[in-house]
Amino acid sequence: MQASNRVAIVTGASRGLGAVIARVLAERGDSVVVSARHPETINESAAVLGRYGTRVVPVAGDITDAVVRARLVDAARELGGLDVLVNNASELGTIGPLMDFEVTRFGRLFPVNAGAPVALIQRAVPLLAERRGLIVNITSDAARAAYAGWGPYGATKAALELLTRTLAEELRDRGVSAVIVDPGDMRTRMHQEAFPGEDISDRPLPDVTMPFWRWLFDQPPVAVSGERFEAQAREGRWLQHA
């Protein structure tokens, strides 16, 4: 591996999918700014990434906090700029019927899953524009299918998908691209929380998505902008037109 001059931000990077994406970037020699809520977990993740010989900056805190978002972008600026922004941080909320859902909980789900990504993008776009960078927003098949019990979470991801496609249109003239990625069902803590007490060992680990990420980060951002991808599809068939 040789160090590159590329810089990336990955939110929700202390475990699961976010940790895998950050690892792929570090393996490429890219400098990485990683974030998660808890200092101990994100610092441990940063230490692991540092073994690849690249520069890694951990930022702890809630992504809905404007101060945390500012620290992420400032860290990228200090590393030299920003080429890739991955909005992976997400919150599941409560799985259950809509008729039992406490609507006030939207006040947490939408800010985390849709509002914070847009707010971080707004702050990061000047840096991304300098390098004709790429925004990657993580979605779910729950954004497209009506799964019983998944309505609130799916609604936030559906909103994020529309926002991403809109951003791809609005930022084209600034040279910034945006894509949507559905990573598919995986054996992660969030997925286990959706099925408490159930065995989810039949789901693959997030590592299964690595071939897709290696491919995506090799593409010219403008060539993929506005598209939706399924990271577990057969190689070469990742594109699922938005």
Catalytic positions, written as ranges: 153
Q: Tokens for 15, please give them.
A: 């475990």
State the CB neighbour count (10 A cutoff) for residue 211.
Answer: 14
The three-point CA angle 210-1-71 to 5° equals 70
Of 103, 204, 190, 82, residue with least CA distance to 138: 190
Q: Tokens for 239, please give them.
A: 């594109």
Q: Report which residue type is found at 131.
A: R
Q: Are 24 and 213 in contact (CB under 8 A)?
A: yes
* H/E element, 57: strand 56-60
At 184, give phi and psi (nearest 5°).
Answer: 85, 175
Q: Tokens for 175, please give them.
A: 């040279």
